[in-house]
Amino acid sequence: MLPVALGKATRILQVFLTAGKEYVCVLRLHGAPDLKRVEEVIQEFVGEIYQRPPLRSSVKRKLRTRRIYFIKVLEVSPPYVLMRIGCEAGTYIRKLCYDIGEVLGTGAHMEELRRTRTGPFVEDSAVDLYELVDAFTKWREEGDESGVRKVVRPLEEALDLLPKAVVRDSAVDAICHGAHLAVPGIVAVSSGVSKGDLVAITTLKGEAVALGEAVMSTEEILDADHGIAVLTRRVVMEPGTYPRMWKSKR
């Protein structure tokens, strides 16, 4: 599962960098431990764990914490263990397999890996390159765009798991020009927003306007009648899409 963005949708790619991931992994044991012990040790890694990125990685090798949401053992056929893993972004599954082997005392390594989820997108919604070519060819040669519309999804779907700040129509164009979102411009806000959270700013119709950083929590936004609530970090909508209803300072 690899989301690919086109056109202005590339502006929201940062969402996938921090989105949770799900993998199906084949772990290969280097010994023959008790199978019950294998399951017990694997479950010990659910929750917050410490990881140091492996030697062959694209980031600095410093100790850091990552959260494992779940590990479901699908099948055990020694020396192989098939697992489904839900984890925080930035988790190294091959390092997780190595650490499981260390705790078991047998050693282990990752034999195969398949990513089955990235943020809101799951494997069942993916298409392969053959389907993509067929959809494009049908549109180009026959004018039938149904296949392309199935393959190319609205960018708003990528924001499904982000908290939302819904704004008035009168505030949209100002945000498109880089203005920060003030409390009076907000119609509704998701529950559970904390300061520093990445927030999707949307119109009343659900259209993506921008990505922003919350500087107020949900409770503070609901209690306030003025002040900046969200700092605009990445504008998605083109200026002029909604009528200009603001005045620039001279």
Chain segment 99-109, per-residue pLDDT in tens:
999 999 999 99
- At residue 217, φ and ψ (nearest 5 deg) are -80, 170
- DSSP annotation of 169 reads H
Nearest by Cα to 246 from 171, 169, 187, 165: 171
Same fold, 20-118 and 162-235: no
Q: Does the domain formed by 20-118 have CATH 3.20.20.70?
A: no
The model carries a pTM of 0.85
Binned at pLDDT 50, 70 and 90, residue 125 comes out as confident
Rounded Cα gap, residues 218 and 55, in angstroms: 41
pLDDT at 55: 78
Whole-number average pLDDT of the chain: 94
Q: Which helix (H) or strand (E) holds 148?
A: helix 146-151
Cβ atoms of residues 203 and 242 within 8 Å: yes
Q: What number is the average pLDDT over the span 178-196?
A: 96
Q: Where are the domains of the chain?
A: 20-118, 127-154, 162-235
- Write out the DSSP string of 62-89: --EEEEEEEEEEEEEETTEEEEEEEE-T
pLDDT digits (tens, 9 = 90+) for 81-92: 999 999 999 999
pLDDT digits (tens, 9 = 90+) for 190-240: 999 999 999 999 999 999 999 999 999 999 999 999 999 999 999 999 999
pLDDT at 180: 97
Cβ atoms of residues 116 and 23 within 8 Å: yes
Q: Angle formed by the axes of helices 35-43 and 93-104, to 10°?
A: 130
Cβ atoms of residues 141 and 79 within 8 Å: no
pLDDT at 248: 65
What is the second-level CATH architecture of the domain 162-235?
Roll (2.30)
Rounded Cα gap, residues 156 and 148, in angstroms: 17
Contact partners, residue 221, CB within 8 Å, separation at least 6: 165, 183, 186, 189, 193, 229
Q: What number is the average pLDDT over the span 128-142?
A: 94
Rounded Cα gap, residues 147 and 134, in angstroms: 8
